[in-house]
Structure formats: structure tokens, C-alpha cells
Homo-oligomer: A and B are copies of this chain.
């Protein structure tokens, strides 16, 4: 009936789902903005981002803005594709849950 294995575990975890959702809404997110929005500790956030990066879902850009180092994160094409697929599963769950 449902293939819950399709619920990509990498994306499904709450912290990373938050990251992926935010990244999907803008072309690029500075680390500090993600941190403020998600209220995660530095270490936790960096680790999740690295996990997503290692999976090829997130691109990392380092530059200097206003005389401060700034690292920004963005979805890769692969990341966007994976997220889109993940969202399709979510949608089918929402529909099923509402008996549609």
C-alpha cells in the first residue's frame, strides 16, 4: 500500500528536514541565518550540513561578507531532486491520512 522505505531517512530526520526545507525556499542561506532560524547549536547544525553535503545534496560556498567569514549553503540539483521526491511521499501520506 505504502512504501515507507521511500521516506529517505537522510532527509526525514527533523533537523535535516528543517535545513532542506529552508534551503528549498531560497537560492542560498548563510550559516548564521540557518542557525537563527532553526535554533540549533553550531556543532549540531554543521554536522547535519556536512552529512547532507557528503550525500551530494548541499553545496557549500565560503566567502567574506562585511569583513567576516561567511559560509553559505544551497541545494544542489541532486539535493533538489531528492527533496522533491521526498515531498511527493509526504503528499501521498497527507492524502491517505485524510482519506482522499
Using CB atoms and an 8 Å cutoff, list the residues of chain A in contact with chain B: 1-2, 4, 7, 9, 12, 14-15, 17-18, 20-22, 24-25, 37-38, 83-84, 87, 90-91, 93-94, 96-99
Q: Would A17 and B99 count as touching, CB distance under 8 A?
A: no
Give Cα A2–Cα B12 distance, bound, in whole angstroms.
16
Q: Would B14 and A14 count as touching, CB distance under 8 A?
A: no
Give Cα A18–Cα B12 distance, bound, in whole angstroms.
13
Q: Would A22 and B2 count as touching, CB distance under 8 A?
A: yes
Give Cα A14–Cα B13 distance, bound, in whole angstroms.
9
Residues of chain B with a CB closer than 8 A to A96's CB = 21, 24-25
Report the minimum CB–CB distance from A83 to chain B (whole Å): 6
